[in-house]
Structure 1
Amino acid sequence: MSGLKKLQEQVLLDVLNEQVTLNSVDDGKNMFKRRMFCKKVLLVLDDVDHIDQFEALAGGPDWFKPGSRIIVTTRDEQVLVVQRVNLIRDIDLLSDKEAICLLSRYAFGREIPSQGYEELSGKVVRYAAGLPLTVKVLGSFLCGKDELEWVDAIDRLKRIPLKETLEKLELSYISLEDEYKEIFLDIACILKGHTKAYAIRILESCGFHARNGLKVLEQRSLITISKDEVLGMHDHIEEMGKNIVRRSREPNEHSRLWIDEEIEDILANDMGTEATRCLKLNKPRGNARIVMKGLGKMKNLRYLEVNFAYYDFATGCLKLNKSRYLNDTSPYFPNSLRYLKCSDYPFLYLPKTFDANNLVELDMKYSEMVLKKLKFLSIRESNLTNFDFGMTPNLETLSLINSFNLKELCTRVSCQKLKHLNIGYSKLRTFDLGLTPNIERFSLNNCADFEELHVSVACPSLKHLDISDSKLITFDLGLTPNLERLSLDNCDDFEELHVSVACPNLKILSLRKSRLRSLDLELIPNLERLDLAECLELV
């Protein structure tokens, strides 16, 4: 608080042109109100990171004379929201020209680089990537140094981030709640570049309040979310996050592991520790047994992603593990796992010791595995011929897309929690929607053998239904009254669409290339798009 008191004394000195000694921050606030209300001021508060700073220096609109302007820069948008600031703008990154100018001010005390430093200045600016704080710090750091020292500094920056830059950037991280710190580090090390929806699923499966966390991180300018809902992060902030994780002396003590060579060394030498929370291994080169067995000591692992299959750009082919479907139970999965993604899992069975009670999501592409007690399950491009919903009573999302041999969905019990189902490109012939009464999205597209969709009970939650490229002959909208989008494209045998009750929510109806002869739209009053192209028998 003594720092805030000194700031108040400095502002009062600059405006009133007299030395003021304050007893406390509250004393300063009272003096601002008494002495400043008749003064029209331009007050710039730079790099405000806490609401107390704002309140101590510009606590209310009645502190200053009307017409005054208060400009605040902060990495925490919430500081401005709480104070009800009437205009908030995101500051764009510096252009190269602006960055050169700012760098020159701090490094050379002028607007342009000194002669002979033009090319070096350009390299520094490219490293800073438009971040004003980084430009300032680098300019101050390089001030007074000769050309050789500039070259050495630039070379070092490529390998080791400037400590002072990371320390300043880290101020926003330090002020976060512990849970939001964990979310930030997960994004910096693992989830950057993924969609917001995907990140929320992963983080929530790990027990975090992901939606609030992402909102806070965005307000603090620690992450960005693009128009396409993709998580981004400035390169230096990403470096800062990874630097926080890597402060432990040895990689096996890091909370998050994402560098293939380090991970393989840890697993091959059985050096795993309980410190590791997240592990992402893209292209393991060692023996699959050794890789999986090496997880044995990582008792607190909550996120695991291992990709035994990878795309070979030289040949244009997907490379699968040569020792696929090893018939033993030597692998190990920690019971702490919440999220497990394992492409081309090379064993026929899950470990006998694996208790999956904590597991929330499983994605085992190019494998033949199924597991109980999941909310989200993706087994795309598998060799499964049937799937038993009885094994997954809490399933909310199931994707079996491109499971070309899938012929049967066994539904011994009603799947009350299932909301999203995608079984496109399978050999399924029939399905009863009555067993999934709360389904919201259902895709059966390109199931060439599919011919019967039963609706034994109403499905009021169903909004999107796609049965394109199937053998379906007829469909009744009566039991799906809240449907918003229906696609029956390329159903060569489709003849009749029953509309027995009003469907006020149906906006998009596509029946391209069907055998439909007539269609009554009286009970579909809000239809926005209707596709009947190439319906040659339509009368």
Structure 2
Amino acid sequence: MVGIWGTSGIGKTTIAKAIWNAIAHEFEGSCFLPNVREGSLVQLHETLLDKVLGKNWKIQSVDEGIGVIKKRLRHKKILLILDDVDHLEQLENLAGDDWFGEGSRVIITTKDRGLLDNREIELIYEVKKLEYNLALELFSWHAFGRSEPPKDYLELAQRAIAFADGLPLALTILGSHLRNRSIGRGQVILDGYKGEPYTHIERILQKSYDALDDDAKEVFLDIACFFKGGNKNSVLGIVPKNCIEVLVDKAMITIEFNHRILMHDLLEKLGKDIVHKESPNDPGKRSRLWFYEDVKQVLTESTGTRNIKGIMVKLLEPDEIILNPECFRNMVNLQIFINHNASLRGAINYLPNTLRFIDWPSCQLQSLPPNFQGNRLVAFNMLSSHIRHLEGFKHLPNLTSMDLSGCQFLEKIPDLSGIPNIKYLILSGCRRLVEIDDSVGLLDKLVQLNLSRCVKLTRFATTLRLKSLEELDLSDCKRLKSFPEIEVEMESLWTLNMAGSGIRELPLSIAYLTGLLDLILKRCFNLTGLELRLLYFWSTLRYLDLSGNNFVTLPECISKFVSLDQLDLRDCKSLLEIPQEVLPPRVYVVLLDNCTSLEKIPKLPLSSEVEYLRLINCVRLRGYDITENSILDQVSVSSLSVSLCLSLYVIWLR
């Protein structure tokens, strides 16, 4: 284990990321866990297992997580970075002795030297303040876009780095603050730091905040209180785009490659301190609430006021809160309501029409209050809630995202033509959902439609005019018998998943899906070879999953998929043969595991593109058929069981 130790803003996380980027490729698995002090141990265990083993792990307890990690990772050489650890318990439950394989490395960043000493970590790197030359260079890059200041700005730069006191965060923010300023204006800004009752870094952060316009200040406070670590695209739906750009430009937030919004702990603290000072003794008069005791008081005692713009319910441990029926009555300016882990019980008589973002999983309400119009809503997420109908959703012009996955009491989706700008409609796992109104097929801004595991769905739009749709998931819609007619070219759709659906026939208009890349027809027992022949025109298709079907021979039409590179035929237990010319010319991965009736595979010519052929438990395939294949003179074979192919049989070519 290696410790990276230093004060806030000194660059510990930056160093850890640089190490990660430099050496992660040398390990069998790697995981960077940011902000460990803010996450639950169970969630951190799940993330570690997901990153290293590549599965969607679900862990129920800390003890279970430790057991799984020890069992599954004990022989793997991994790189694990634990960023911002502040309790010994976190370290002991995330990286115990001998948990990982030989050659593994665990790197910890922390402000607490004692934590590293208690763990008896000997290799500790103390991050020190930047020396003058490095501080001047870092400041200059942010202030002037070059490695050194213009000569006439040297005095200003020297004064600025003296204020920053060698802290990289302060140098970055101060440089961004002074960018494109005249010398005179820059001196005035630095004069403003005198006499403030803060440390140097706190003065710099406060002045950077003070220099923002009113809109950018509001967005800064929203991110500090609610959206740190959130997805930029989700946040952009409720805040002005230019404000995000301003905060990035001023180095007050950063956006990671996966669109995650990052904010330094000191800036987060600044934002929360600003909000707390609005009303130190009465949380109901503040603009934003996130501390669980304040939230509980306001929701149970109905002490909220018109000042409140946002609430996030995030308890130390999952618990129950009994709502006062009138708790939202006076919050006439409430825009954001997020519930992370509380069970909010009790009826409510009122919701403010100013709400723009509702994230309320496991909501106990069967319907929304009759007064609620929701015409300002941008995102409405009520996963696994008790909601039974959406009759009030008639005119929501601003709504772009609705996630009702796992709503077990929802039986019908009504007319949604009054929601013309919706992009994401997630209804997966709504097991009582029977009918979806035809209007859903006409939402031309829709990008993602997920109806997976709607096992009782029998009616889903008679026609589709979804020009913007990119992802359509109908997997495990077992009672859905037909696919809608497509009335316009849907070239944006790149993935179609009908695995395990009851669909019996495809319309001729399926030809309008001209941009399809991935097609998943796993366990589509009702589709015949005749239906598959309708797909021959898909020259764009790259991935085709026909696993678990009951073909006797592979349909020849598959050879027409000239761009196909991956073909999955696992568990096709009736498949007897693959005709000689059926494999598309560019396919390089073919999976045939558990094709227990397969007796013949085609002889692959030397010009074949196939690089990976897998046969597991193909009990009728004779070794002669394999070894006679003319392409085997180019093959490296490992774990080969020729006689019955009972064990793993993998052929790597090239």
* Category of TM-score, reference length = shorter chain: 0.5 to 0.7
Residue matched to 1:189: 225
Tell me which amino acid in the other structure corresponds to 2:351: F
Q: How far is 1:447 from its partner?
A: 2.0
Residue matched to 1:461: 492
Mapped to 1, the partners of 2:535 and 2:525 lie a distance apart of 23
Residue matched to 2:172: 74
Residue matched to 2:542: 507
Residue matched to 1:170: 206
Indicate whether 1:388 and 2:414 are aligned: yes
Q: How far is 1:402 from its partner?
A: 1.0
> Which of the residues 464, 479, 498 maps onto 2:512?
479
Residue matched to 2:628: none
Indicate whether 1:254 and 2:283 are aligned: no
Indicate whether 1:263 and 2:295 are aligned: yes
> Which of the residues 395, 403, 406 maps onto 2:433?
406
Indicate whether 1:333 and 2:370 are aligned: no
Would the alpha carbon gap of residues 171 and 525 (structure 1) be closer, same or farther in structure 2, given more than 3 Å must change? Answer: farther
Matches within 5 A, 1:488-527: 488-496=521-529, 497-499=532-534, 502-516=537-551, 517-521=554-558, 523-527=560-564
Matches within 5 A, 1:123-522: 163-194=199-230, 196=231, 199-204=232-237, 206-209=238-241, 212-250=242-280, 251-282=283-314, 285-288=320-323, 290=324, 292-306=325-339, 310=342, 326=347, 330-365=348-383, 366-368=385-387, 369-370=389-390, 371-372=393-394, 373=396, 374-382=399-407, 383-390=409-416, 392-394=418-420, 395-411=422-438, 414-426=442-454, 427-432=456-461, 434-438=463-467, 439-458=469-488, 459-475=490-506, 477-496=510-529, 497-499=532-534, 502-516=537-551, 517-521=554-558
What is the total number of aligned residue pairs between the two structures? 390
Q: How far is 1:52 from its partner?
A: 8.0
Mapped to 2, the partners of 1:76 and 1:503 lie a distance apart of 55
| CA RMSD of superposed structures (Å) | 3.8
TM-score (norm 2): 0.53
Would the alpha carbon gap of residues 415 and 207 (structure 1) be closer, same or farther in structure 2, given more than 3 Å must change? Answer: same
Would the alpha carbon gap of residues 270 and 407 (structure 1) be closer, same or farther in structure 2, given more than 3 Å must change? Answer: closer
Question: Does the 8 A contact of 1:202 with 1:339 survive in 2?
Answer: no
Mapped to 1, the partners of 2:178 and 2:516 lie a distance apart of 42
Q: The residue matched to 2:215 in structure 1 has which SS?
A: helix
Q: How far is 1:386 from its partner?
A: 1.6
Would the alpha carbon gap of residues 322 and 341 (structure 1) be closer, same or farther in structure 2, given more than 3 Å must change? Answer: closer
Q: The residue matched to 1:509 in structure 2 has which SS?
A: strand
Q: The residue matched to 1:187 in structure 2 has which SS?
A: helix
Question: Does the 8 A contact of 2:472 with 2:496 survive in 1?
Answer: yes
Higher mean alpha-carbon deviation, 248-257 vs 166-175, is at 166-175
Deviations 1:383-420 (A, max 9, x none): 11221234643233211111111121121573333331
Would the alpha carbon gap of residues 60 and 486 (structure 1) be closer, same or farther in structure 2, given more than 3 Å must change? Answer: farther
Mapped to 2, the partners of 1:80 and 1:164 lie a distance apart of 16
Would the alpha carbon gap of residues 53 and 498 (structure 1) be closer, same or farther in structure 2, given more than 3 Å must change? Answer: closer
Question: Does the 8 A contact of 2:379 with 2:402 survive in 1?
Answer: yes
Higher mean alpha-carbon deviation, 298-307 vs 395-404, is at 298-307
Q: How far is 1:293 from its partner?
A: 1.4
Would the alpha carbon gap of residues 234 and 55 (structure 1) be closer, same or farther in structure 2, given more than 3 Å must change? Answer: closer
Deviations 1:23-60 (A, max 9, x none): xxxxxxxxxxxxxxxxxx99936646985898995179
Mapped to 2, the partners of 1:52 and 1:81 lie a distance apart of 6
Question: Does the 8 A contact of 1:48 with 1:74 survive in 2?
Answer: no
Tell me which amino acid in the other structure corresponds to 2:410: L
Mapped to 2, the partners of 1:456 and 1:53 lie a distance apart of 52
Mapped to 2, the partners of 1:244 and 1:48 lie a distance apart of 29
Mapped to 2, the partners of 1:48 and 1:271 lie a distance apart of 49
Q: How far is 1:518 from its partner?
A: 0.6
Residue segments in structure 2 that go unaligned for 5+ positions in a row:
1-132, 154-167, 182-196, 579-654
Deviations 1:405-454 (A, max 9, x none): 11211215733333311111112235347334323211111223333212
Mapped to 2, the partners of 1:82 and 1:219 lie a distance apart of 12
Tell me which amino acid in the other structure corresponds to 2:386: S
Deviations 1:161-209 (A, max 9, x none): 9754322233433333433332222121111232x2xx432442x2421
Tell me which amino acid in the other structure corresponds to 1:518: P
Indicate whether 1:533 and 2:570 are aligned: yes
Question: Does the 8 A contact of 1:478 with 1:498 survive in 2?
Answer: no
Question: Does the 8 A contact of 1:462 with 1:482 survive in 2?
Answer: yes
Q: How far is 1:510 from its partner?
A: 1.5
Q: How far is 1:470 from its partner?
A: 1.7
Question: Does the 8 A contact of 1:224 with 1:232 survive in 2?
Answer: yes
Tell me which amino acid in the other structure corresponds to 1:263: V
Deviations 1:227-280 (A, max 9, x none): 544333222222122112222133223221111211222344433222221111
Residue matched to 2:164: none
Matches within 5 A, 1:50-89: 57-58=149-150, 74-75=172-173
Mapped to 2, the partners of 1:267 and 1:172 lie a distance apart of 34
Question: Does the 8 A contact of 2:443 with 2:466 survive in 1?
Answer: yes
